[in-house]
Amino acid sequence: MATTENELTAEVIASFNRTTDPRLKEIMQSLVKHIHSFAKEVRLSDEEWMFAIEFLTATGKMCSDVRQEFILLSDTLGLSSLVDLINHAKGDERATEPTILGPFHVQNSPVLKYGDSIIQRTLDIGEPALVRGRVVDVNGKPIAGALLDVWQTDANGLYDIQESTEVSGNLRGIFHSRDDGGYAFQTIRPVPYPIPDDGPVGKMLRLVNRHPWRAAHIHAIVSAPGYRSVTTHIFDEDSKYLDSDTVFGVKGSLIKKFLPQSDGTLLLEYDFVLVQE
């Protein structure tokens, strides 16, 4: 029977000794070790422990088919980006860097052709932009038939699935690269937007004086047979919040400039570089 804090920690760790799955045993024992050491380090009070329980309970209650508050919590604590770094550590410096998926990806976006627009609404806001480039391997060789799944918010900072009135599939599209690896689509310049902050995670951000904003970005998942697929963003170089993205998703290599064209529209060029499997 434990009489000291450290004896208690050791006893709880030992209680997992008979776990037959070695990975589960490793994770549970490490979790106990770190969560105990956290509580000991901050000298967690009864009230603070209860506050945390109530916070996690509220986080769970906020979750639904269309809202995953625990993932938002993981995102804002930098855990999602950390797991991304652990599992997709820089292999080939030439390859497109990954970043987090986020909660607004949907399956079955409209399948579109080279140069098509992903705008599917009549709202007349936003700066028109052409996004184009190639999908290539690390030696610059074009990858034909690569699949590009792209999505972004509208100029009001909302994804189609956050708006009951919006056309589904607005500002989403699936493209296939041409024989020369080329892809292109018409869109609007993305804008910074706040992550959903009407729940416990938003409350947490306000309590600690953090803002809920993400830097302006376009999401992309790019895949091709024989290559490792990449889940990533392209960030607007002129966006606010590049150095304080609330979910820690920005990587320098993913920041690109929207260049003004003579016809008043914008052009963003970006090549996706995939690594062979």
Rule CB under 6 A: which residues touch ligand BEZ? 72, 75, 100, 102-104, 195, 214, 247
Closest CB 199 distance from ligand BEZ, rounded Å: 12
Decide which of Fe ion, ligand BEZ, none touches 119; Cβ closer than 5 to 8 Å per partner kind.
none
Burial of 193 (0-12, 13-18, 19+ CB in 10 A): buried
Cβ distance to ligand BEZ smaller for residue 32 or 188:
188
Nearest to 156 by CA among 126, 199, 119, 197: 126
Which x/- pattern over 75-114 shows residues binding Fe ion (rule: CB under 5 A)? ---------------------------x------------
Closest CB 99 distance from ligand BEZ, rounded Å: 9
Nearest to 200 by CA among 61, 59, 65, 79: 59
Cβ distance to ligand BEZ smaller for residue 104 or 227:
104
Q: Taking the CB of residue 265, how many other CB atoms lie within 10 A of it? A: 16
Three-state DSSP at 143 gives coil
Cβ distance to ligand BEZ smaller for residue 37 or 253:
253
Cβ distance to ligand BEZ smaller for residue 193 or 227:
193
Cα separation, 156 vs 190, whole angstroms: 9
